[in-house]
Amino acid sequence: MLKSIFIKNFAIIDELELDFYDGMSVLTGETGAGKSIIIDALNLALGNRADRSVARIDNANVEVTATINTRSSEEATAWLKEHDLDDGDECVLRRVINKDGKSKAYINNSPSSVAALRSLGDLFVDVYGQHEHQSLMRLDMQRQLLDSFANNSKNIEKLAAVFRLWQSLNNQLEIAETNQADTRAKLELLRYQFQELEELNLQAGEYEEINEKFALLNNSKELNENSMRISQQLAGDGDNSIYDKLSSLISDAEKYAAVDNELNEPLEILRSIHIQTKEVAAYLRNYSENISSSPQELQILEDRITAVEEISRKHKVKPKELLNIHAAIKKELDSIEGEHSDPDKIKASMQEAEQLYRTTAKKISSARKNAANELNEKITESMQALGMQGGRFHINVEPKKSTELSLNGLDEIKFLVSTNPGQSLRVLNKVASGGELSRLSLAIQMATSNNLKIPTLIFDEVDTGVGGATAE
C-alpha cells in the first residue's frame, strides 16, 4: 500500500510530504485547493507522461517520490525480484524533471526507464479519475472488467495467440488462392519488411542492454562527481581526510597499546580500517577517472534505441517482440515463395486452429458467466448501500450473432441496470444518469477491487454526480 508521497516544486506545491495508513484516507477541501494536483503528482511518480510546464519554479527540479509497502502485493514483489530491484518490504518510486525538461525515473534509487516505472506502478496503485465512470458506457471496458474479475487473462492471451495463428493461416490461404499480381504485391511488402529487419540486426536482449547503458551514460556526470567527492573525503590531499585522521588516531592508540596490551585488538582494527579506507578511495578515484561520459557514445545509443523503437511502432509491437516478427516474416516469405503452397494443407491447419480457438473460447465464456453471476449479486447489494434501493444490476453474456472468430472470444457482453423498483433491466447507457453512473462505477470498483489484487485504490472526485443522503 501507499505509505507516503513527497512532492517538490509541482504546480502550486512548493514542498509537501503526506503519510498514509491502513484503511481509507480522505483528502477534502474547496475547489482549487490542490487535491487533484496531489493525484497528478502521484501519477508522475507512477510513470505517467511528464511535462516541464508543471514546475512551480522554472529553474528548479520537479521531484515526486512515492514510498510503497510491498507486502500487500505479491505480483509487485515478484516483478521487483525478477528485475533485481527488490529491497525488502519497501519500494521507493521517484521521478525527477530537471530544469532542462529531461525526465529521470528511479526504482529503489536505481535508474529506470519510464516504461518500467509505469509497469510497476500499475501493480501498486490504481488511480480512478474524475470522469472515468463514463468509460462504463463502452462495451470493451465492460468486457475487460468482467474478464479481470473472472481471472481470464491467461486464457485470453492463449485465445489471442490462436486467433492470430488462424488469421495468419487465413492470409496464407488468400495468398495461395489469389492471382499472381496480388501475390507479387504481398511478396514485395514482406521482402521490404524482412530487409529492414535484417539491416536492423537486432540481437536477443540487445534492446534491454542498450537501455541500461544509456541510463548509465546519461547519469555518468553525477556518478563521476560523487565518486570523486567521496574519494577525496576518504583520502584526498591535505591533512583533513578520513585517512589522515585515522593516521593520527592510530598514532595515539599505539602509545596507549604500549602501556596496556588490551588495546592491541582495537588498534589492529583501526589499522585494518586505515588500509581499507585507502583502498576504497583508490577504487573510487579509478572508477571516477575511467567512467565513460562520451557524448558520442550516448548519441549512438540513443540513435540505436530510436531505430529499434521506430521499427517496432511500424509493426505495432514491443521492441522485444521484433525478433519474433522477424522470424514470422521469414517463415511467411518462405511459405509464399515456395512454388507448392497447398491450399488444402492450409485449410487443414486452419481447422485445427479453429477447433483449439473454440475450445478455449468456451472456457472463457463459462468463466465469464460464473463471474457475471457473482458480480450481479455483489453490485446489486452495493447499489442498495449507495442509495439505489430496489435497483438491480445484471451482466448479460450471450453468444455473438456472428460466428466469425474474434480476438476476444465469441461472447457479446452488456451491462444492464434497473435503477428503480419495478423497472425492467435495460442497457446501461440508456438508463443511468450521471449521478447513477458515478454510484454504479463505485459499486463496481468495490466489487472487483479484491480480484484486481492492487493494494491501493485512489478515487479522484469520488462524489462527482452524487448528492443528498448518498453523499452523506
Q: Return the pLDDT at 200.
A: 92
Q: CA torsion sign, 148 to 152 to 157 to 161?
A: negative
Q: Return the pLDDT at 325.
A: 93
Q: Return the pLDDT at 340.
A: 53
CATH of region 2-128: 3.40.50.300
pLDDT in tens, 374-397: 999 999 998 888 888 888 999 999
Top-level CATH class of 133-157+352-453?
A: mainly alpha
CB 173 within 8 A of CB 347: yes
pTM of the entire predicted model: 0.49
* Domain limits, the chain: 2-128, 133-157+352-453, 178-341
Cα–Cα dist 227/288, whole Å: 6
pLDDT in tens, 172-185: 888 777 655 567 78
Cα–Cα dist 272/266, whole Å: 10
pLDDT in tens, 135-167: 677 788 889 889 989 989 899 999 999 999 999
pLDDT band, very low/low/confident/very high, at 469 (cuts 50, 70, 90): low
pLDDT band, very low/low/confident/very high, at 450 (cuts 50, 70, 90): low
pLDDT in tens, 55-71: 777 778 889 999 998 88
